[in-house]
Amino acid sequence: MAHTWMHNGFLQVEGEKMSKSLGNFITIRELLNDWPGEVLRLNMLKTHYRSPIDWTLKSVEESKKVLDSWYDVVGDDTQALGELDEGVTAQLGDDLNTSGAITRLHAIASSRVGTIGQAQIDVKRKLKTSAMLLGLLGKTKNEYLVSNPKAVEVNREVVDALIADRTAARARKDFKESDRIRDELAAMGVVIKDSKDGTTWEIAR
């Protein structure tokens, strides 16, 4: 079994061969200034290692949307991992068919729709465990959001204190104050979500 796999096809950028003479030469280091490394990894893995890659801004944006949606599924669950999906391992065993494995990961994520309870937990853990074979979904959702170079940096203690104040304001039916704190958090780049289990928050995308 090979230890190292390298793409050996032509690399294009927006439909043109990457070349210094054309002025469209770009390095991974430069891309990491604008995108999480995991997004760049997914974008490359969507193409088989023996096929030409056409690197486009649209494809990177699509890869980010995919990862965003997958992290929405797995969330911040830090418990034991689930079972590996046989479909994913079969694709990877077939000449490292990463594009086929990614298609299978899409199917796993979609299968969560309509599930509840333990079945829902099993799906998200299978998605996470299987994706980790490709070096994906190894973080919690919040860790992934923070890994974005363009993510807003916030003080967690300040955010938690504001949310506690907002919860207290809501409890005493001071909705004007509650709305003011919500707006203050939004201005900081924090999105809050209220549920029957309480209030959670994340960095705005």
Q: What is the pLDDT of residues 47-83, one digit of tens each?
A: 888 888 888 888 999 999 999 999 999 988 777 688 8
Whole-model pTM: value is: 0.70
Per residue in 97-138, pLDDT tens?
A: 999 999 999 999 999 888 888 888 899 999 999 999 999 999
CATH 1.10.730.10 residue ranges for the chain: 11-146
Q: Which long-range contacts (CB under 8 A, 24 or more apart) does 106-114 make?
A: 106/66, 109/69, 109/70, 109/73, 112/73
For the cut 70, the answer to whether the pLDDT of residue 153 exceeds it is no
Domain 11-146 - what CATH class?
Answer: mainly alpha
- Strand 53-55, strand 11-13: pairing: parallel
Residue 1 is predicted with a pLDDT of 59
- Dump pLDDT digits (tens) for 61-70: 999 999 999 9
Question: 193: which 2 tokens?
Answer: 């979500």
